[in-house]
């Protein structure tokens, strides 16, 4: 297939692109390669994608563009007929959103509007986009289910991603654009984002620096290994969203619709307490952490846990990689890449 993949120089986008190229799809990757984190890491990912495409003979093209640039997207969609669009580009990060909300409005709201409109005008058969477990916000019912409401986000990043879900549904309803939204739960693994806790913890432990542990470590996260994420992204993109014939307007299910729209949790389904998680990293690097306990940060969620029943029902997929194996793979990559 001919696939547009936005944010493909990012962590998840890189791995999805590599999978698509590996199976022979033609991939047009779009990224603005911004400086939110180390640009050298993003460039290294792009170099590997070019090498993978050259080796496998797959079609691959990198377009440096910003999804908030409507004219650039119009040119791109005018030059290609895409069988699928996988939209992973976004301004990520919870804490950064506390200080730079305009970056999130520009990328996550304006940019996503441009993607939706471009898909509509081009008649794209299916749009798959990244959402986040953060949309569950103040919801304390564990595990989080797509059938529950998600209308009380506790940080602006989550608010923009929840807005994306609502915007996508409106296009599915008004224009018949098939859309799938994937709520990712704390993704980790090789080639990850340096602003993520596991990345920062590994670096600090190896360099003998203290690691900041917020809420005095009283957190639990549903860590999800990158390969499991990629399995779900590709499977969801391949399977075009359809209307739910049993959808009831009197008792509306937030996860589906009378329109070709669906939301799916993508998580490991095995929440890990933060202290135990740090212990796994310590074992992998064979060093002890110096821990600095700090109060809870604004916008932090105490626990995330995914109900992935719908994911399994739709695609027969279950998380395959446990935390010890996943962190081991990440630490091995980190040591090789940074020569530690």
Q: Which helix (H) or strand (E) holds 40?
A: helix 39-56
Q: How far is CA 291 from the centre of its chain?
A: 28
**Residues in contact with 82: Cβ distance below 8 Å, sequence separation at least 6, in sequence order:** 2, 3, 4, 28, 122, 124
First to last CA, the chain: 40
- In whole angstroms, give the CA distance from residue 313 to residue 320: 16
Catalytic-role residue among 157, 171, 188, 225: 157
- In whole angstroms, give the CA distance from residue 239 to residue 200: 36
The string over 220-239, giving b where at least 16 C-beta atoms fall within 10 Å of a residue's C-beta and e elsewhere, is bbbbbbbbbbbbbbbbbbee
- In whole angstroms, give the CA distance from residue 111 to residue 103: 11
Whether 157 is catalytic: yes
Burial of 301 (0-12, 13-18, 19+ CB in 10 A): buried
Decide: helix, strand or coil at residue 265: strand
- In whole angstroms, give the CA distance from residue 96 to residue 71: 28
- In whole angstroms, give the CA distance from residue 114 to residue 107: 10
The angle at the Cα of 166, spanning 234 to 271, to the nearest 5 degrees, equals 55
Edge-first strand listing for the sheet containing 84-87: 60-64, 26-31, 2-6, 84-87, 127-132, 179-184, 261-266
Kindly list the catalytic residues: 157
């Amino acid at each position: 297939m001919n696939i547009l993949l936005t944010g493909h120089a990012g962590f998840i986008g890189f791995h999805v692109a590599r999978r698509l190229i590996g199976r022979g799809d033609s991939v047009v990757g779009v990224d603005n390669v911004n400086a939110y984190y180390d640009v050298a890491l993003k460039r290294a990912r792009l170099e590997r994608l070019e090498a993978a495409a050259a080796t496998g003979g797959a079609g691959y093209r990198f377009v440096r563009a910003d999804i908030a640039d409507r004219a650039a997207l119009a040119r791109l969609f005018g030059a290609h007929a895409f069988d699928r669009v996988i939209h992973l580009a976004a301004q990520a990060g919870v804490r950064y959103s506390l200080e730079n909300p305009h970056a999130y409005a520009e990328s996550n709201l304006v940019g996503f509007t441009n993607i939706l409109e471009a898909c509509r005008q081009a008649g794209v058969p299916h749009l798959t986009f990244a959402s986040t477990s953060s949309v569950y916000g103040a919801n304390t019912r564990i595990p989080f289910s797509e059938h529950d409401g998600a209308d009380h986000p506790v940080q602006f990043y989550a608010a923009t991603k929840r807005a994306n879900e609502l915007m996508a549904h409106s296009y599915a309803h008004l224009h018949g654009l098939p859309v799938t939204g994937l709520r990712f739960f704390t993704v980790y693994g090789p080639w990850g984002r340096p602003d993520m806790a596991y990345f920062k913890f590994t670096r600090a432990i190896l360099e003998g620096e203290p690691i900041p542990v917020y809420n005095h470590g009283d957190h639990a996260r549903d860590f999800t290994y990158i390969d499991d994420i990629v399995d779900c992204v590709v499977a969801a993109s391949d399977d075009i969203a359809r209307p739910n014939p049993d959808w009831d307007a009197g008792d509306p299910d937030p996860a589906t619709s009378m329109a070709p729209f669906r939301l799916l949790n993508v998580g490991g389904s095995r929440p890990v307490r933060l202290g135990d998680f740090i212990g796994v990293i310590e074992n992998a690097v064979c060093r002890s952490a110096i821990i600095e306990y700090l109060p809870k940060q604004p916008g932090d969620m105490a626990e995330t846990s995914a109900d992935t029943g719908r994911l399994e029902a739709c695609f027969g997929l279950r998380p395959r990689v446990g935390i010890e194996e996943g962190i081991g793979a990440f630490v091995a990559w980190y040591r090789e890449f940074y020569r530690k």
